[in-house]
Chain A
Amino acid sequence: DQQVKQNSPSLSVQEGRISILNCDYTNSMFDYFLWYKKYPAEGPTFLISISSIKDKNEDGRFTVFLNKSAKHLSLHIVPSQPGDSAVYFCAASNTGFQKLVFGTGTRLLVSP
């Protein structure tokens, strides 16, 4: 049973435009949601998180939105840059930032 789903395997965006990555979850007990970025041959790198008591968290060019009623979150990157090209994983947990349940990832390609 896939508790965290990223239904778009890939996304292509032009430099300077907005990238929107989506994630759905099924477990209503999740209380933290995180986004990780992964470059080839490297481990995932923490990007941004949001607690279930919030509906938005912003950090520079990255904003995460949480819609608890729809069990949906999204990551917005504005403006997108070629260096943002990577695989983005959505993750969730009901034990803070530990024991993460990951989605299958979305490969973002930002073209100049």
Chain B
Amino acid sequence: DAGVTQSPTHLIKTRGQQVTLRCSPKSGHDTVSWYQQALGQGPQFIFQYYEEEERQRGNFPDRFSGHQFPNYSSELNVNALLLGDSALYLCASSSGQGENSPLHFGNGTRLTVT
């Protein structure tokens, strides 16, 4: 049973560029959340997608956007990259907006902005 898978594993981008990160949820899960983990910090909530709509959003600028596809997979897009966007981006999945369903995390995408 495949868990949450994320691609790519690592990515290097230049300031001002745009990036797309991808996530496939755990089998049976339909809700995807994205978190940003800066070095030495805990993960910080970006947003949650359920039924192809953004349901909740954390304190992140509009440069961060996402999408969920009918097969429940998801993309995170970041425009106009800043050096401060360098971080580990974690995707997590759960079922039915999962109020009582713990998040299952992928191994993350390490983004470096130079």
Are B103 and A100 interface neighbours, CB within 8 A?
yes
Give chain A residues whose Cβ lies under 8 Å from the Cβ of B7.
none
Report the bound CA distance from A89 to B58 in whole Å: 19
* Of A14-22, A41-49, A63-71, A74-82, the one with at least 4 CB within 8 A of chain B: A41-49
Number of interface residues of B (CB under 8 A): 28
Describe B's contact surface by its main secondary structure: loop
Are B102 and A34 interface neighbours, CB within 8 A?
yes
Give chain A residues whose Cβ lies under 8 Å from the Cβ of B33.
98-99
Describe A's contact surface by its main secondary structure: strand
Known contacts: A99-B56, A102-B42, A105-B42. The answer to whether A44 contacts B94 by CB under 8 A is no
Q: Which B1-45 residues have a C-beta within 8 angstroms of A?
A: 4, 31, 33, 35, 40-45
Give chain B residues whose Cβ lies under 8 Å from the Cβ of A101.
45
Give chain B residues whose Cβ lies under 8 Å from the Cβ of A45.
105
Give chain A residues whose Cβ lies under 8 Å from the Cβ of B97.
98
Known contacts: A99-B56, A100-B45, A104-B40. The answer to whether A43 contacts B107 by CB under 8 A is yes
Cross-interface CB contact of B99 among A91, A95, A105, cutoff 8 Å: A95
Are A99 and B102 interface neighbours, CB within 8 A?
no
Report the bound CA distance from A43 to B6 in whole Å: 10
Beyond the given A96-B98, A98-B103, A100-B103, could you list 14 further A-B residue pairs with CB under 8 A, ordered by the A residue number?
A: A34-B102, A42-B107, A43-B4, A44-B105, A46-B104, A49-B102, A95-B99, A96-B100, A97-B99, A97-B103, A98-B94, A99-B58, A103-B42, A105-B42
